[in-house]
Amino acid sequence: MLAFRGADRSRCWNYDQVTLMSIEQSIRKRSLWFVDLDDTLHDAANGTLKNIDSAMTEAIQNILGVDKKKADFLRKKYWVKYGATVVGLNKLHNISVSDFLNISHSQKILADLNLPSVSFSSKIKRIKGTKWLVTNSPEKYAMSILNHLRLQKCFRKVISVEKMKGPGGLKPKPLIFQWRRLIRLAGVHPTEVTVIDDCLRNLRTAKLLGCRTIWAQCFNKNDVKFRTQNTRPFYVDKKIKKFSDLFRI
């Protein structure tokens, strides 16, 4: 062990103190959360998404004049390619974003809303730090869900699909452009951001920027691929089965 004379020891102690303060500040800074909505805050796969998918397919049938099979194919294809079906419809068919979202996300789809327990919402509120809701769903739908969850005052910002703009139109998740834009909007470094999402492709692109990523598996899904995916991908920092797991991170 090295021996320090008075002045040197004092300088060393001051240096250690500054280092500890820097670490504590770094931990406090890492308190911006980008939280997803569907299948992260509520069980959408077994609830509202069924109605949304049906409404989207029917809208595509009526607008493009195609049969149900073709409409369903286009709905899935555009979701995979662009992150949101409405982006493909707007880009390739010049369909109004607002008109399509109003049709596909009307209030009647909330009839099958599966609400978690009251304690679930209280756990979300207990997460320290600034929280932004970042969803590829329209704002009106997102706010309705938050109201039902009693979380409308929990999020500093609600970033819905209409707000995910970029060159050439909407640029929703999982595009790295959108993550970079939101981080710039927040005025923080990517390492100060934690992304909570049930969708792996969204986490993959967020991780490329240096964000901490948490894979939310809080709700059961009918999707076979989801049920059989037990391995945590390298770009996922933490996998949670319930939100209370966040308090141990």
CATH number assigned to the domain comprising residue 64: 1.10.150.450
- Domain match, 220 and 162 both: yes
In a domain? residue 104:
yes
| 184-190, long-range: CB < 8 A, 24+ apart | 186/32, 186/132, 188/29, 188/32, 189/29
pLDDT band at 134 (very low <50, low <70, confident <90, very high): very high
| Domain, as residue range, for 218 | 29-44+115-248
140 lies in the same domain as 235: yes
10-24, 36-50, 166-180, 222-236: least confident range: 10-24
The pLDDT of 88-104, averaged and rounded, is 96
* Distances from the Cα of 168 to the Cα of 158, 177, 205, 224, angstroms: 22, 12, 20, 35
Query: Both 52 and 40 in a single domain?
Result: no
pLDDT band per the 50, 70, 90 thresholds, residue 218: confident
pLDDT at 116 over 90: no
Mean pLDDT over each residue of the chain, to the nearest integer = 85
Quote the number of domains for the chain.
Answer: 2
Which H or E element spans position 145? helix 139-149
Q: Give the residue among 233, 209, 229, 223 at the shortest CA–CA distance from 76.
A: 223
pLDDT at residue 59 above 60? yes
In this prediction the pTM is 0.84
Looking at the structure, do residues 204 and 98 belong to the same domain, yes or no? Answer: no
Whether 39 is covered by a domain: the verdict is: yes
For residues 126 and 68, state if they share a domain. Answer: no
Distances (CA, A) of 83 to 13, 86, 134, 199: 52, 9, 13, 11
Phi first, then psi: give them for residue 89, nearest 5 degrees.
Answer: -65, -40
Looking at the domain assignment, is residue 148 inside a domain?
A: yes
What is the mean pLDDT of the segment spanning 120-143? 92
Q: How many CB atoms lie within 10 A of CB 248?
A: 7
**Based on the domain organization, do 56 and 81 belong to the same domain?**
yes
- Shared-domain flag, residues 138 and 216: yes
Determine how many CB atoms are found less than 10 A away from the CB of residue 101.
Answer: 23
Does residue 10 sit within a domain? no
55 and 128 fall within a common domain: no
Whole-angstrom distance between the N-terminal and C-terminal Cα of the chain?
34
Q: Which of 87, 109, 131 is the last residue of a domain?
A: 109
Are 131 and 62 in a shared domain? no
Q: Are residues 88 and 143 in the same domain?
A: no
Decide if pLDDT at 183 tops 80.
yes
Are both 90 and 126 inside the same structural domain?
A: no
Q: Residue 22: exposed, middle, or buried by beta-carbon count in 10 A (0-12, 13-18, 19+)? A: exposed
Residue 18 within a domain: no
Give yes or no for residue 8 having a pLDDT over 60: no
Strand partners, 34: 132, 195
pLDDT tier at 249 (50, 70, 90 boundaries)?
Answer: low
Task: Examine the domain organization and report whether 173 and 65 are in the same domain.
Answer: no
Which has the higher per-residue pLDDT, 128 or 10?
A: 128
Domain limit, last residue, from 91, 109, 127: 109
Residue 25 reports pLDDT greater than 70: no
Whether 9 is in a domain gets the answer: no
What does the pLDDT read at residue 93?
97
Q: The domain that contains 36 carries what CATH number? A: 3.40.50.1000
